[in-house]
Structure 1
Amino acid sequence: MKMKKFIAILATVSMVAAMAAGCGSSSDDTSAEGDAATTEDGGESGSWDAANMITAVTREEGSGTRGAFTELFGVVDEEDNDMITLDAQTTNSTSVMMTTVSENEYAIGYISLGSLDESLVKAVKIDGVDATAENIENGTYKVSRPFNVAVKPDLDNPVATDFMAFIMSTEGQQVVADEGYIPVAEVEAYAGEAPEGSCVVGGSSSVTPLMEKLIEAYEAVNPNAKIELQTSDSTTGMTSTIEGSYDIGMASRELKDEEAAELTGTVIATDGIAVIVNQNNPTDDLSSDQVKNIYLGDVTTWDAI
């Protein structure tokens, strides 16, 4: 009888010990699974893994920046049709483009160089050349395009006419230079008449930041004028000027033949297109062909660069 009690007690102790060991093992397994998950997620927070998919970010159709980008990098077919991959994520403004890339470590995008905010994103070299106004001016950075404004040949708004004269004056082109763009050479001092009234300027979101500064400078010398600025895209800028909704249209590209047939265009500055990546992306230099292949959809991961 005593022997049976001893065996029962011994069995109970063994069960308790097994349960304790099982609990310890479960805890260890959970820890191991956590370690494995951490490894699969790329280790420490903020690490960058080149095996990840590239998120190509583009501008909307009608954007002058998109048109200039596809032309300059050759992301077009034999008939110059836009061939940007349908997998690309579309944004509708320069600011949204920068925000999108700043929030995605594996994204790549493109913006007006003059709008670049290096606290948000990083501009990569193209073919070994830094994207700077100086390099655009000396011809080593090839990815550049004109900023155009356009009016009807029979423009009869005195404020719009005077504002155009200010933009193309020494004072106006100094604003262009101060904002990091390439100014137009051989201009003269502003000698306007400061007319009273208003006008509407609209179009490209890439030209908008520069135009805001030009309007601010003009209204300082002509407090009698009020200029309304509407931001859309280059194509809308031109069509709305033709239709009469805008007195002055903005385009971050060359005017198309059909636009030039109805409008008088004026280059007010030269701007570069900066190819941007997330600040955590270690990529510092891309060739023109690499950018092209990303946007054609032929290269889809960063380790294929």
Structure 2
Amino acid sequence: MKKFIIILSLFMVLGLTACGETTTEATTAAPTTEAPTTTVEEFNTNASIQIYTRDTTSGTREAFFKGIDFSDAVDDNQFLATGYVEVDGNGSMISSVNGDEFGIGYVSLSSLEESGLIGLNFEGVEPTEANVLNDTYGLKRPFNYIVRDDWTGMETEEQIVKAFLAYMGTIDGKATIQANSGILSIETTDQSWDDIKANYPVCSADNSAVTINFGGSTSVEKIARALSEEFSGKCGNFIADHNHTGSGDGYKRTQGEEADGANKIHIGFASRGLKLDSSEPAVTGTYGQICWDAVVIVVNGVNNVIANITTEDIKKIYDGTFTTWSDLLA
């Protein structure tokens, strides 16, 4: 009887294995950080590379294409390889590449750890916070904020936002930024919120009926939500409303064309530098840097054909010169 059970179990295992080997459709798996088990021999290197990109308002997209010396593609899809897929946020990028065995894309370093994707070294340098701070990782970019310049009829909101900006620079705020993957240094000279809160009397009032509207970059959203949730309890329990739709909207909805419309916000975020000399002429004193982040080139969790990619190779993928994974191995 024991031999029969062992043999039956073996047939069941073999049967399940055989079923797995006949499945060719890519599926969206639950995020995992486990290392892939597929070998180069098992991965179909003759398959076409499917490229994914962010929309043209994305700060992540701008940092990526400028970082790989492909600035023509920052605002114009016509320079991209045929068949590209455009997605509208870090979350969409992660789910798209997770669901495509042969996909390649790019995400914020702050999104990588829990994404289930493989982050590639860039020019031989690992994408880590330490390498961003020591300036050896090439695809770094700033996380910035911008606030309104016209606060007419929004005096209480203005005072809360000023207090919020001050809080971001305290030891308390910086610790929250760090805990949510923002890259910065905490200095011994940094003050705590307790040291400066008396300068912001608005935080002693009951602000539970006041709504502060946050928006802009999806890459900065995690940090913005954590800061606002924490700071609300320190500043009269104001309501934090988040609607993050891209770095470009961070400017448009604070000082740009939508600043006085239905989508207006009080503070916006950008995962890139502001275009101060062209399309985003922000008022001096209304913007600044929160921390650093980096862009990481990512592939599906079963793809371990490469662990490192160069500027030349990734550009050739996105401009259509390289069309199959075997092109990278030539």
Report what 1:188 is aligned to. Answer: 191
Give ranges in structure 1 of 5+ residues lacking alignment. Answer: 1-34
**Higher normalized helix content (fraction of residues):** 1
Pairing partner for 1:98 from 66, 88, 94: 94
How far off is 1:180 after superposition? 2.3
Q: Which moved more, 1:66-75 or 1:191-200?
A: 191-200
Q: Which moved more, 1:117-126 or 1:292-301?
A: 117-126
2-side partners of 1:169 and 1:260: how far apart?
Answer: 28
1-side partners of 2:174 and 2:80: how far apart?
Answer: 34
CA contact (8 A) 1:159 1:198 kept: no
How far off is 1:167 after superposition? 1.5
CA contact (8 A) 1:202 1:229 kept: yes
Q: Which of these two proteins has the greater Rg computed from alpha carbons?
A: 1
Report what 1:68 is aligned to. Answer: 63
Work out the number of aligned pairs and report it.
265
**Deviations 1:206-231 (Å, cap 9, x if unpaired)?**
11111111112212323422111111
TM-score using structure 1 length: 0.80
Tell me whether 1:49 sits opposite 2:44 in the alignment: yes
TM-score using structure 2 length: 0.74
Tell me whether 1:135 sits opposite 2:148 in the alignment: no
Tell me whether 1:288 sits opposite 2:311 in the alignment: yes
Q: Which moved more, 1:211-220 or 1:229-238?
A: 211-220
Give ranges in structure 2 of 5+ residues lacking alignment. Answer: 1-17, 25-37
2-side partners of 1:113 and 1:268: how far apart?
Answer: 15
Q: How does 1:74-223 map to 2 (within 5 A)?
A: 74-77=69-72, 82=76, 83-118=79-114, 120-155=116-151, 156=155, 157-183=158-184, 186=187, 187-190=190-193, 191-192=196-197, 193=200, 194=203, 195=205, 196=207, 197-223=210-236
Pairing partner for 1:252 from 250, 262, 271: 271
Pairing partner for 1:240 from 230, 242, 253: 253
How far off is 1:154 after superposition? 5.0
1-side partners of 2:89 and 2:229: how far apart?
Answer: 21
How far off is 1:119 after superposition? 5.4
Report what 2:238 is aligned to. Answer: 225
2-side partners of 1:110 and 1:80: how far apart?
Answer: 14
Q: Which moved more, 1:223-232 or 1:89-98?
A: 223-232
Residues 86 and 269 of structure 1: is their aligned pair in 2 closer, same or farther, counting only changes over 3 Å? farther
Q: What amino acid is aligned across from residue 189 of structure 1 in structure 2?
A: S
Residues 269 and 86 of structure 1: is their aligned pair in 2 closer, same or farther, counting only changes over 3 Å? farther
Q: Which moved more, 1:254-263 or 1:222-231?
A: 254-263
**Higher normalized strand content (fraction of residues):** 1
Q: Which moved more, 1:160-169 or 1:178-187?
A: 178-187
2-side partners of 1:212 and 1:58: how far apart?
Answer: 25
Percent sequence identity over aligned pairs: 29
How far off is 1:185 after superposition? 5.4
